[in-house]
Structure formats: structure tokens, C-alpha cells
């Protein structure tokens, strides 16, 4: 069986787009449970960050994309006189959010879910859990897909074995590396929160990608 792969904390800071005044604040306990690597037992919290600044914008703005229902409806009325609504960034979105940076401290163990060896190892390690969850397999599609049952089970497995968090790929852009940082992890805040201007280059590029009007 392939070994589970670990990865080292990056030397450069990670980026997190969050609520001001502290984008790096842990979510309140009553707001956890829906994140990709949130604890299914809700006994620890998770901070999500990106290795690339634009990755933080992509993960945050993806939920503002036009829905599949909208896109299907748009196809039905294409060429008609019926107006179509556009996806628009809420007026106070930039004002209420900022970009924080953090350094993960060395000497911690991070699960590298980007590695095919890790996924194959977890397939064996978690076989009983997967069957109990009525999952047919553990593969790249499962760990990158929208369903959270599998990824949250992986987070619980990693936490119980002393991992400080998980490095994984964005499901919107496989070139982007994201980090799920468990509450037990040690990190340092890097600088002060950065406000988001309406002409921010990463905001503009992400809005174009998702068809969102700023």
C-alpha cells in the first residue's frame, strides 16, 4: 500500500479572505460544519487559506456565480425579449472584507491530499469508514468534488492522527493550492489586514472568470 504523504509548511505566507476587522478569526462555533474539511463531530474549527492570493478570491467568490437553474433558464429564453438578471457583487462586499496573511510554523505535520499516493493510502486506511458512509470509492473526483461527506471524514481521520491540517487542490483551478488549518495548528499573523479596493486586480480577474459584475 502506498504511504500517506506529508508536506512541509510553505515559507511564504498564506492568504485568507475574511470578515473585517480580523480576516484570520476563527468562525463562531454555531457557524461551523459546512466547510469542506470541517470536523463532522464539530469538536475543532478549521481556518481555510490559499497559497496564492487569487486563490482566496476564487474560493470566496465562487458561491456568487449564477446558479445552474439560472443558466438552464438563460438557455431557454436566449433570443427572446425577456431580460436576464446578472450576477452582481453586493455593494458592501468589499467594504466588509479584507485579506489577512499568516505563516504556518515549522515542525508540524500536514497531510498532502494533492498526492495520488496519499489518496491511495487513505483508500485503504479508511475503507471501513468509506463503506459506513456508503461511498463507492476514494479518488481525485471525491476529494475535489462538491460533496463534503468524504472530505470531512478525511479531516477527522487526519486530526485524530496528529495532523495540523491538510494541503489540497482547489476544485475551481487545479493549479491553486489551498490549506485547511486545524484549530490545533500553530501559526503567526503576518502584517495587518489588507482592505479590498474595488479595482483590486485579483478581484477583477476572478469576477471576469465567474461572470460577476463588480
- Per-residue pLDDT tens over the stretch 81-93: 566 667 889 989 9
Which pLDDT does position 76 carry in this prediction?
67
Q: Is it the case that residue 48 has pLDDT exceeding 80?
A: yes
> What mean pLDDT is predicted for residues 163-172?
97
What stretch of H or E contains 101? strand 97-104
How is residue 176 annotated by DSSP? Answer: -
Q: Which percentage of the chain shows pLDDT scores above 90? A: 83
What are the sequence ranges of the domains in the chain? 6-213
- Of 97, 110, 113, residue with least CA distance to 15: 97
- Per-residue pLDDT tens over the stretch 10-42: 999 999 999 999 999 999 999 999 999 999 999
Which pLDDT does position 1 carry in this prediction?
63
Residue 75 has which C-alpha cell? 438557455
Which pLDDT does position 69 carry in this prediction?
82
Which pLDDT does position 111 carry in this prediction?
97
- Per-residue pLDDT tens over the stretch 109-153: 999 999 999 999 999 999 999 999 999 999 999 999 888 999 999
Separation between Cα atoms, residue 13 and residue 74, nearest integer Å: 41
Amino acid at each position: 500500500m502506498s504511504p500517506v504523504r506529508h508536506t512541509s509548511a510553505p515559507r511564504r505566507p498564506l492568504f485568507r479572505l475574511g470578515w473585517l476587522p480580523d480576516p484570520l478569526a476563527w468562525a463562531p462555533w454555531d457557524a461551523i460544519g459546512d466547510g469542506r474539511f470541517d470536523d463532522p463531530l464539530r469538536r475543532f474549527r478549521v481556518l481555510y487559506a490559499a497559497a496564492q492570493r487569487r486563490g482566496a478570491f476564487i474560493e470566496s467568490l465562487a458561491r456568487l456565480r449564477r446558479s445552474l437553474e439560472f443558466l438552464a433558464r438563460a438557455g431557454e429564453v436566449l433570443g427572446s425579449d425577456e431580460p436576464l438578471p446578472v450576477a452582481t457583487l453586493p455593494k458592501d462586499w468589499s467594504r466588509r472584507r479584507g485579506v489577512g496573511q499568516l505563516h504556518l510554523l515549522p515542525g508540524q505535520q500536514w497531510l498532502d491530499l494533492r498526492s495520488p499516493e496519499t489518496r491511495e493510502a487513505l483508500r485503504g486506511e479508511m475503507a471501513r469508514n468509506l463503506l459506513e458512509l456508503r461511498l463507492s470509492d476514494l479518488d481525485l473526483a471525491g476529494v475535489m468534488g462538491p460533496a463534503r461527506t468524504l472530505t470531512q471524514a478525511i479531516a477527522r481521520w487526519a486530526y485524530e492522527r496528529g495532523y495540523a491540517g491538510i494541503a489540497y487542490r482547489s476544485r475551481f483551478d487545479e493549479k491553486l493550492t489551498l490549506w485547511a488549518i486545524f484549530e490545533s495548528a500553530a501559526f503567526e499573523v503576518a502584517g495587518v489586514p489588507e482592505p479590498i479596493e474595488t479595482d483590486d486586480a485579483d478581484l477583477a480577474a476572478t469576477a471576469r472568470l465567474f461572470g460577476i459584475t463588480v
